[in-house]
């Protein structure tokens, strides 16, 4: 899960698609428009985003739409946030320790 989410976010074209999707659901052609890329290239990137669970694909009428899945983004964000929190707690403890050693 985290493997595929972080891998999906490691590409600028895929991040640009995520960026576009924060403004609402989009069709493949809307997602492809700002990118200088072949349609198969676009489809491949979308598959990586879908497989990671970052995007949800829905067919309405004859058009397939993608929308963001905030849960997958939250999973990745929480993993990093928790590691940062642990590290900061560790730094704070070190600082207190050094201050105590200096008799502050």
Binding site for its own copies (CB under 8 A): 2-4, 6-7, 9-12, 15, 18-19, 21-24, 68, 70, 73-74, 76-77, 79-81, 83-84, 86-88, 90-91, 94
In whole angstroms, give the CA distance from residue 2 to residue 5: 5
For the bound state, the minimum distance from the C-beta of residue 54 to its own copies, rounded and expressed in Å, comes to 10
The residue among 28 and 79 lying less far from its own copies, judged by its C-beta, is 79
Query: Shortest approach of its own copies to residue 95 CB, angstroms?
Result: 13
Q: List C-alpha distances in Å: 83 to 6, 22, 27, 78, 95.
A: 15, 26, 36, 9, 18
CA distance 104 to 65: 61
Tokens 């640009």 correspond to: 16
Nearer to its own copies, 24 or 39 (CB): 24
């Amino acid at each position: 899960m985290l493997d595929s989410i972080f891998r999906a976010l490691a590409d600028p074209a895929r991040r640009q698609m995520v960026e576009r999707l924060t403004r609402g659901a989009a069709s493949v052609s809307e997602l492809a428009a700002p990118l200088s890329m072949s349609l198969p290239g676009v489809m491949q990137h979308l598959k990586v985003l879908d497989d990671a669970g970052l995007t949800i694909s829905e067919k309405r009428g004859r058009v397939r739409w993608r929308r963001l899945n905030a849960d997958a983004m939250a999973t990745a964000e929480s993993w990093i946030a928790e590691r940062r929190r642990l590290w900061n707690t560790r730094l704070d403890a070190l600082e207190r320790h050094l201050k105590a050693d200096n008799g502050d």
